[in-house]
């Protein structure tokens, strides 16, 4: 039996995770998925109840789980808290503690949503990009870091961008292996014209490439990559990049597909145990209004089935059910771009479960 830990978190996290939970319950009750689902606290809600955004108990349960499904963390309510106790820190500590170095962020355009893209439909037709973001290194975790006081009472902020060869090598392997199962084109994004870290990154990626001769490798500077993503996104298949660049580029790629509310992600460790989360954040402005799009959370369940629970057929069925509600014209407010049937978070979740149950009658 697989153990799945749900971490709803803050903002719209709880409402979208509730819909993902319905999907998991259906798969367990009707499709033979052998899974036990638990729930724990993370982020601001954990801070409020336990004075810690990642309580010991949550971390212990996450370590014991086969997969973790997280909603979102953060919100303006928590911005005044000292940095170490902020909701985001809970997520960053969890990524680090579980060794989740490989962050997979697919950006796929559903043909019916082309009109919701911020680019012209013809630019994004067929869009299918996989961003592979290094998640446990770089600026996010490098030491030294902090805000120091200098002479004359001037303060200085410091963060450190560092990667060793092993860190680069393992994320490069992960990206090449993914490219092997796709269109076999890998673009490694760096800033090698300025940064030594990027120079090493390029060298190591080229060395790893020798083990994957069937994959074609290109390199691109990050500023150009940002431009190319909005100019001609279809030139990309797999994009490999470091933590901070990946954070930024994955938000750009998300918007190309029409809504960040549609995009799931997986963060995997060496044993393929993973944390799954929608790419959208906590969206405090719409929290509790039944307006959030639960499809990113539901698609994160599909990724979980595929990568951690060894259930690729069920993953396909969830993907198809999402496809189906989209082609039926059902839309949450974020993806309504013309006179369409606009529904709420819960109804969208129920619609996906209905689509799943209709499949099983086939
Ligand atoms: C993301 C988010 C996080 C990040 C924040 C919430 C810490 O933006 O998952 O992309 O920067 O990694
Ligand atoms: Mg981000």
What secondary structure does DSSP assign to 229-240, as a single string? HHH-GGG-SEEE
Task: Give the single-character DSSP code of 54.
Answer: S
Phi first, then psi, for residue 113 (nearest 5°) are: -105, 5
Q: Ligand 1 in contact with 52 (CB < 6 A)?
A: no
C-alpha distances in Å from residue 236, one per residue of 111, 174, 192, 220, 296: 18, 17, 19, 11, 22
Q: Exposure string (b/e) for 48-66, b if CB count within 10 Å is 16 or more?
A: eeeebbbbeebbebbeebb
Q: Reply yes or no on whether the pLDDT at 336 is more than 90.
A: no
Which residue owns the Cα nearest ligand 1 atom 9?
A: 279
Q: Which residues pair with 6 in a beta bridge?
A: 39, 69
pLDDT confidence bin for 339, thresholds 50/70/90: low
Give pLDDT, residue 178: 96
pLDDT confidence bin for 362, thresholds 50/70/90: low
Give pLDDT, residue 212: 98
The pLDDT tens digits for 310-335 are 999 999 999 999 999 999 999 999 88
Q: Reply yes or no on whether the pLDDT at 338 is more than 70.
A: no
Q: Ligand 1 in contact with 199 (CB < 6 A)?
A: no
245: left (phi over 0), alpha (psi -120 to 50) or beta: alpha
What mean pLDDT is predicted for residues 291-296? 97
The pLDDT tens digits for 199-253 are 999 999 999 999 999 999 999 999 999 999 999 999 999 999 999 999 999 999 9
Give pLDDT, residue 361: 54
Q: Ligand 1 in contact with 277 (CB < 6 A)?
A: no
3-state SS class at 20: helix
Going through 46-91 in order, the beta strands assigned E by DSSP cover: 67-72
Residue 321, both tokens:
């059910």
- CA dihedral (265, 271, 273, 275) positive or negative: negative
What's the 28 CA to ligand 1 centre distance in angstroms? 30
Percent of the chain with pLDDT over 70: 98
Residue located via tokens 């309504």: 336
Instruction: Give the lowest-confidence range in 19-33, 111-125, 274-288.
Output: 111-125
Q: Which atom of ligand 1 is nearest to the CA of 103?
A: 9
The CB density around residue 45, as the number of other CB atoms within 10 Å, is 23
The pLDDT tens digits for 16-71 are 999 999 999 999 999 999 999 999 999 999 999 999 999 999 999 999 999 999 99
- 96 with 244: CB under 8 angstroms? no
Task: Cite the active site residues.
Answer: 140, 191, 223, 247, 251
- 147 with 155: CB under 8 angstroms? yes
The pLDDT tens digits for 176-194 are 999 999 999 999 999 999 9
């Amino acid at each position: 039996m697989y153990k799945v830990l749900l971490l709803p978190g803050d903002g719209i996290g709880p409402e979208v995770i509730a819909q993902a939970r319905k999907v998991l319950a259906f798969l367990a009750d009707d499709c033979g998925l052998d899974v036990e689902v638990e729930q724990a606290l993370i982020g601001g809600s954990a801070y409020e109840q336990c004075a810690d955004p990642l309580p010991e108990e949550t971390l212990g349960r996450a370590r014991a789980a086969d997969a973790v499904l997280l909603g979102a963390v953060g919100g303006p309510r928590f911005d005044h808290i000292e940095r170490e106790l902020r909701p985001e820190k809970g997520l960053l500590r969890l990524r680090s503690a579980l060794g989740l170095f490989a962050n997979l962020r697919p950006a796929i355009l559903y043909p019916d949503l082309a009109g919701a893209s911020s680019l012209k439909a013809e630019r994004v037709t067929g869009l299918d990009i996989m961003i592979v973001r290094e998640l446990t290194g770089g600026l996010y975790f490098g030491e030294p870091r902090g805000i120091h006081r200098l002479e004359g009472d001037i303060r200085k902020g410091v963060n450190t961008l560092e990667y060793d060869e092993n860190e680069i090598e393992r994320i490069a392997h992960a990206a090449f292996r993914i490219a092997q199962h796709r269109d076999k084109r890998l673009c490694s994004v760096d800033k090698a014209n300025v940064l030594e870290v990027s120079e090493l990154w390029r060298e190591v990626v080229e060395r790893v490439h020798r083990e994957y001769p069937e994959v074609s490798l290109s390199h691109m500077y990050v500023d150009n990559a940002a431009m190319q993503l909005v100019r001609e996104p279809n030139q990309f298949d797999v994009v490999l990049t470091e933590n901070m660049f990946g954070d930024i580029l994955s938000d750009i790629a998300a918007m190309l597909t029409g809504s960040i509310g549609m995009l799931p992600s997986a963060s995997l460790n060496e044993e393929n145990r993973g944390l799954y989360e929608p790419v959208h954040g906590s969206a405090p402005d719409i929290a509790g209004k039944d307006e959030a799009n639960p499809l990113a959370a539901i698609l994160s369940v599909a990724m979980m089935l595929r990568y951690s629970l060894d259930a690729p057929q069920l993953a396909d069925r969830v993907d198809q059910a999402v496809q189906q509600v989209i082609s039926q014209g059902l839309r949450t407010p974020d993806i309504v771009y013309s006179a369409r049937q606009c529904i709420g978070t819960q109804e969208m979740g129920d619609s996906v479960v209905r689509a799943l149950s209709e499949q099983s009658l086939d």
